[in-house]
């Protein structure tokens, strides 16, 4: 029996599918299937029921599952302890970034380059995805840390976060749009307009949908893009009203648009640095979290001392 076989078994149970588990593990599906079959032969019992549309654990598999997870956790703790005593930071960290928007909020490339110079033996994998999927990945343990767009200031159970970007949302329109004559815009004024927004699963889209529902209508989103400035360019071409984080006067003037504050005070574009409530388990992940917090939250104390 090998630890990797237990890792593959746990991944297939959690994904309920061999193909998705293989993609999560960055392996070929036949290899994952073969290793689990070998594990079943060694144990003398089938662990997975493959007859349905989804893969489920057998009675034996369900009984084995907590022990497999415990073995993997114990191995991770053992490695972490050795790394802490050796004083040489090694390991692998997975960082999630909300698609498009986080890159504009801070210089993630420069931050990771500085961290790599200080800790060259730490491997960092960066994954871009929607905030919704990354929060699920944090819960599942597939991500150590994530910069996510959030619709609320309060995190869901099991997670904790710190807000690193908190900007008001604005409605962006061309200079000749009738709304451009108003100093502020209520969400109700957008009821009959085509809207331009970040994709579903992002914090800004969640705020937009919630605010429109509170104003009594469902938003008619005609165009989506992952980058706020691209949304503003769509608005400049008359494709609709873009709802996005506030623009500077120089940016708005350069694109020939007006950025109108929205009257709902809860309409905020927030990016949070999120993690599991228990904190990252490995020294490498804790060190990267400290670096992120030091850079993005200048007055924050290191996580290990919090």
pLDDT tens-digit profile of 136-178?
Answer: 999 888 899 999 888 877 888 899 999 888 888 999 999 999 9
Domain that holds residue 68: 3-86
From 86, 109, 132, give the residue that closes a domain: 86
Mark whether 293 and 205 lie in a shared domain. Answer: no
Higher pLDDT, 209 or 103: 209
Query: Is the pLDDT score of 236 beyond 90?
Result: yes
Whether 102 has a pLDDT exceeding 60, the answer reads: no
Q: Is the pLDDT of residue 57 over 90?
A: yes
**pLDDT band of 104, cuts 50, 70, 90:** low
Helix (H) or strand (E) holding 62: helix 59-86
Whether 56 and 201 map to the same domain: the answer is no
Residues 249, 191 within the same domain? yes
pLDDT at 260: 93
Residue 302 is predicted with a pLDDT of 46
Question: Among 86, 110, 143, which residue terminates a domain?
Answer: 86
H/E element, 11: helix 3-15
Cβ proximity of 124 and 248 under 8 Å: no
Predicted local confidence at residue 48, as pLDDT: 94
Sign of the dihedral through C-alpha 95, 96, 102, 105: negative
Residues 223 and 301 in one domain: no
Kindly give the interhelix angle for 59-86 and 3-15, rounded to the nearest 10 degrees. 120
pLDDT band at residue 304, thresholds of 50, 70 and 90? Answer: very low
pLDDT at 196 over 90: yes
Q: CA-CA distance, 164 to 150, in Å (whole number)?
A: 11
**Structurally, how many domains does the chain consist of?**
3
- Sign of the Cα torsion 11, 12, 16, 19 reads positive
Nearest to 147 by CA among 167, 131, 124: 131
Same-domain status, 76 and 105: no
What is the tens place of the pLDDT at every residue in 237-252?
999 999 988 888 888 8
Residues 181, 232 share a domain: yes
Q: Which helix (DSSP H) or strand (DSSP E) does residue 272 occupy?
A: strand 268-276
Instruction: Give dist(CA 209, CA 10) in Å, integer.
Output: 36
For the ranges 96-105, 241-250, 297-306, the lowest mean pLDDT is seen at 297-306
Is pLDDT of 217 > 80? yes
Same domain assignment for residues 37 and 51: yes
Average pLDDT over all residues of the chain: 86
* 93-122: average pLDDT: 80
Mean pLDDT of 59-87: 81
Residue labelled with tokens 């009821």? 191
More confident residue, 105 or 61: 61
Cα–Cα distance measured from residue 178 to residue 186, given in angstroms and rounded to the nearest whole number: 14
pTM above 0.85, yes or no: no
Domain boundary among 66, 86, 106: 86
Alpha-carbon distances of 119 from 38, 94, 144, 151, rounded to whole Å? 38, 15, 17, 34
């Amino acid at each position: 029996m090998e630890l990797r076989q237990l890792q593959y078994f746990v991944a297939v149970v959690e994904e309920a599918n061999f193909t998705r588990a293989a993609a999560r593990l960055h392996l070929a599906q036949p290899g994952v299937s073969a290793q689990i079959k070998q594990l079943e032969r060694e144990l003398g019992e089938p662990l997975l029921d493959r007859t349905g549309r989804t893969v489920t654990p057998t009675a034996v598999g369900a009984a084995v599952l907590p022990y497999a997870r415990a073995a993997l956790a114990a191995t991770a703790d053992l490695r972490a302890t050795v790394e802490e005593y050796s004083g040489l930071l090694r390991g692998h960290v997975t960082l999630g970034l909300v698609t498009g928007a986080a890159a504009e909020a801070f210089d993630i490339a420069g931050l990771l380059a500085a961290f790599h110079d200080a800790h060259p033996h730490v491997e960092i994998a960066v994954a871009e995805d929607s905030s919704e999927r990354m929060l699920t990945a944090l819960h599942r343990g597939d991500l150590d840390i994530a910069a996510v767009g959030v619709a609320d200031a309060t995190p869901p159970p099991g997670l904790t976060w710190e807000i690193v970007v908190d900007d008001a949302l604005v409605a962006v329109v061309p200079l000749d749009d009738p709304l451009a004559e108003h100093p502020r815009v209520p969400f109700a004024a957008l009821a009959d307009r085509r809207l331009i927004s970040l994709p579903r699963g992002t914090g800004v889209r969640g705020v937009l949908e919630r605010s429109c529902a509170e104003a009594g209508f469902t938003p008619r989103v005609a165009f989506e893009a992952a980058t706020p400035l691209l949304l503003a360019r769509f608005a400049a071409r008359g494709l609709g009203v873009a709802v996005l984080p506030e623009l500077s006067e120089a940016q708005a003037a350069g694109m020939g648009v007006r950025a109108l504050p929205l009257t709902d005070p809860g309409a905020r574009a927030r990016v949070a640095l999120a993690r599991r409530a228990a904190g990252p388990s490995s020294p490498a992940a804790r060190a990267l979290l400290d670096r992120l917090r030091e850079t993005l939250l200048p007055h924050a104390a290191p996580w290990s001392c919090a």
